[in-house]
Amino acid sequence: MAAPIAHIFLAVQMLSGPFKGLYNEREFIIGTSFPDIRYLKVVERTETHFVNVKLEDIIQEKNSFKAGMIFHSFVDEQREAYVVANNLYDKIPKFRFTSQALKFAEDEILKPHFDIAKYVSYFDNILDIEMNYNISEKHIRDWHNFLQGYFNARYTGKDLILKYFDLNEPNAWYIKRLIFSWFFARKMQHVMNDIINDVQMKNLILDFYLNFSAKN
């Protein structure tokens, strides 16, 4: 699974390439960011994620939000296949949050290549279609607020984990789904730094993200 910035990075790339002129950009981006609201434990993963997604499945969907949701699963599946094929997991120390460390390291690596702040305002308001998933408006707003804080670098992938221990952190609900002890928090920081500073891994990650539209 990709992290929030990576999902939008690829959405923007495809919207200026194979999907150009097909969708409303804001609705597509909100849609592709929506599936991981499941981390709030307010909806089952099967209700927001799909399996065996093909590019044609996205193109055939005319609703921009729904197409974005399908694209989210497409990215997750394509990324996982790439990570496994290139043995990226084998290059990372094994611990409870190996996959989370990799995906948040990817967001950090992508930041210099992408102006994520440009899309923060897209989450100012909730789309009507988001209310169709039997999730409360409050929880949808919480998800939007979390994404805006993350995109605004209020916290980064590196220090996101430390917010778990901040009793005043309003988005602790999300972080608690990921991190459960100080040991794992420190371990995740070290692993992320190792990934970011490993030239071979960094190049492999960038190859996937920077050339995604050309490969699809």
pLDDT for 183 equals 62
Question: Cβ distance 92 to 98 under 8 Å?
Answer: yes
Q: What is the residue range of 156's domain?
A: 4-215
How many CB atoms are located within 10 Å of the residue 27 CB?
18
pLDDT for 100 equals 87
Count of structural domains within the chain: 1
Q: What is the mean pLDDT of the chain?
A: 87
* 176 or 200, greater pLDDT: 200
Looking at the predicted structure, is the pLDDT value of residue 166 above 50? no
104 CB-contact burial (10 Å; exposed 0-12 / middle 13-18 / buried 19+): buried
Instruction: Label residue 95 by pLDDT band (50, 70, 90).
Output: confident
Tokens at residue 77, please? Answer: 């599946």
Task: Of 5-9, 88-92, 186-190, give the lowest mean pLDDT range.
Answer: 186-190
Percent of the chain with pLDDT over 90: 70
- Furthest C-alpha separation in the chain: 47
Angle at 103 between CA 49 and CA 168, to 5 degrees: 90
Instruction: Label residue 189 by pLDDT band (50, 70, 90).
Output: confident
Looking at the predicted structure, is the pLDDT value of residue 157 above 60? no
pLDDT in tens, 9-35: 999 999 999 999 999 999 999 999 999
Looking at the predicted structure, is the pLDDT value of residue 67 above 80? yes
What pTM was estimated for this model as a whole? 0.88
Residue 153, phi-psi category: left (phi > 0), alpha (psi -120 to 50), beta (remainder): left
